[in-house]
Homo-oligomer: A and B are copies of this chain.
């Protein structure tokens, strides 16, 4: 993999989690230091940190912050296992897990870390040891995320032509959305590293412009040719440029392969089918939610009116008109040519290939 030429999306500094404030890109590279659960929940809700895998990593460190906060709140009330620690800890973990509803990695990371902590707590281990274990667990999740990104990249690059490839993407499923090199964009970094000449079209991705602000920023920094288009130009670009692939990330994938991702993904998949362009979803195992038989059960977050009506302060929608602002949509498995995971490239029928890959 190439050395990625941009600052870290999230970095643990022993007592605080430092987040690159993605709401300020590309105009400004600012950082936010987070030292408690409330601040992290706020950062997740405001999309300071976003992207399912990055939220998972941030939440893992958040569980450690929760443990420390639970101890602090209980200080003076107990010894090595303060009174009500577990109760306070669980409440904070729930707040964290509920900070956004669609990405499954968030709850996955919280539950994994919480289980570690509660098992030690049940065994009567001191809080110091529980906190040390949580730090190790968070760093493990972050490290696994990096390795997962690289593996997704390698598997996904095999789907692209070796010499030159034109690729479309939506939203940001890159280094900024993970603890590593990305999911969809990891495929591009891996292709670049092996020498493929890339031309990438990035949907700007309304309303929050993650494609224009974030994907364009990180691809341009990595020296990849990137062109930003409005979401509504994708069909024209597909007809004119005949891309080799559309590659996107995912926030949650059901057992049958139905995929929740940033709003607009579903429409893009229909356009790809119409133009005969293969549509790929790149995501780690932690994105799969096998409890859900299909995509109809995935909760879809609706966000604030002002994101559309008054972005960046300018009034764009008159007050007497309504606004509908779903943050995600569900792409039926039938429109997806392959799911690219760290375990390999999964093909239809997905119920079988997913079950097999995830049990391996």
Binding site for B on A (CB under 8 A): 26-27, 170, 201-207, 209, 212-213, 216-217, 219-221, 225-237, 239, 263-264, 266-268, 270-271, 273-274, 308-309, 312-318, 320-326, 329
Contacts and interface: CB of A to CB of B under 8 A. Distances in A.
Contacts of A312: 312-314
5 contacts: A205-B232, A212-B317, A213-B317, A227-B324, A233-B324
A322 B235 contact: no
A207 B230 contact: yes
A229 to B, nearest CB: 5
A321 B226 contact: yes
Contact of A324 (B221, B229, B309, B317): B229
Contacts of A206: 204, 206, 230-232
A199 B323 CA distance: 12
A343 to B, nearest CB: 30
Given A212-B309, A230-B308, 6 more contacts: A212-B316, A213-B318, A230-B264, A235-B266, A236-B329, A274-B274
Nearest to A216: B321
A326 B216 contact: no
Those 10 A-B pairs whose CB atoms lie nearest each other, nearest first:
A232-B264, A235-B267, A216-B321, A206-B230, A26-B318, A231-B232, A227-B322, A220-B320, A236-B329, A312-B314
Contacts of A321: 202, 216-217, 219-220, 226-228
A228 B267 contact: no
Contacts of A317: 26, 204, 212-213, 216, 228
Contact of A309 (B219, B228, B318, B329): B228
A233 B316 contact: no
A312 B316 CA distance: 10
Contacts of A232: 170, 203, 205-206, 231-232, 263-264, 267-268
A216 B267 contact: no
A187 to B, nearest CB: 19
A226 to B, nearest CB: 5
Contacts of A212: 308-309, 316-317
Given A26-B317, A204-B316, A232-B231, A226 B322 contact: yes
A186 B145 CA distance: 54
Contact of A227 (B267, B268, B323): B323
B228 A323 contact: yes
A302 to B, nearest CB: 11
A351 B241 CA distance: 28
Contacts of A230: 206-207, 231, 263-264, 308, 325
Interface centre among A229, A266, A318 (most CB of B within 10 A): A318
Given A206-B230, A230-B207, A233-B263, A217 B270 contact: no
